Amino acid sequence: MTGLLPLDMPLLEFESLHEGVLIKRYKRFLADIELSNGEVVTAHCANTGPMTGVLIPGQRVRLRHAPSPKRKLAWTWEQAEVPGADGQPCWAGINTALPNRLIRATIEAGCLSEQLGAISNIRAEVPYGTNRRSRIDLLLTPAESNPDQRLIYLEVKNTTWTDGTTALFPDTVTERGQKHLVELMGVIPEARAVLVPCLSRPDVMDFAPGDAADPRYGSLFRDALDAGVEVLPCCFRYQSNEISWQGLRPLKKFQNL
């Protein structure tokens, strides 16, 4: 299940990130990092969760430098080097603002054409759900050639927590994530509902809900599968100047709660 794009082909390319060493993360949004030239900078941390397994003071990290009068901080923490499942270090993408863009690029490259069919239009942050108070990450309109003409509501979840070679989400209680599962179930059968765990590290081989962190989410995840929500765990490799496609990963067989 690799899609049409060859493995390791880049989906996003960007100016090379700067490297440093993490000193500490604090106040959820801030991280102090020592650059390779010895300078200590404060970077924005877009990941507000506990970052289980990927928050390691003294680890190598990569940052984006984008000074602007509109930004309080010129630096953004993008990637972290973590112990891989095979014992070798690998890089994980920790910026939770990036996966929506990455999954959109994945769809546009045709990597999920077998699973989703041909797509003619992609819209982001479209209101939906109870009283239209939620926003779906991506709303896909099928092309005329797609045999299933239902709209596709697609929710993206950045995933970096692991147990061995299994990727897990969430790594903390997420009432917002629970709500998203309920609202995805609510669009069926008039529309398709797709959950995309964005596996932001290349060492994982399958995906499962993070029952130990949020049993309620795990229970709703199973309900969603039974209701017809499709789950497409997409795996990526993070490098200093690009992110490349590693293919789909299967769901791990897990027990019902």
Query: What are the tens digits of pLDDT across the range 178-220?
Result: 999 999 999 999 999 999 999 999 999 999 999 999 999 999 9
Is residue 4 pLDDT above 60, yes or no?
no
The whole-number pLDDT of residue 179 equals: 95
In this prediction, residue 68 carries a pLDDT of 87
Question: What pLDDT score was predicted for residue 154?
Answer: 98
Residue 131: band (very low, low, confident or very high) from pLDDT cuts 50, 70, 90: confident
What is the pLDDT averaged over residues 76-89?
95
Mean pLDDT of the chain: 94
The pLDDT of 154-169, averaged and rounded, is 97
Assess whether pLDDT exceeds 70 at residue 152. yes
pLDDT of residue 175: 96
132 vs 244: CA distance, rounded Å:
34
The stretch 68-83 carries a mean pLDDT of 94
Backbone angles phi, psi at 185, to 5 degrees: -60, -30
pLDDT given at position 7:
82
pLDDT confidence tier of residue 1, bands split at 50, 70 and 90: very low
The pLDDT tens digits of the residues spanning 43-56 come to 999 998 999 999 99
Which pTM value belongs to this model? 0.94
232 contacts 1 by C-beta, under 8 angstroms: no
pLDDT of residue 31: 97
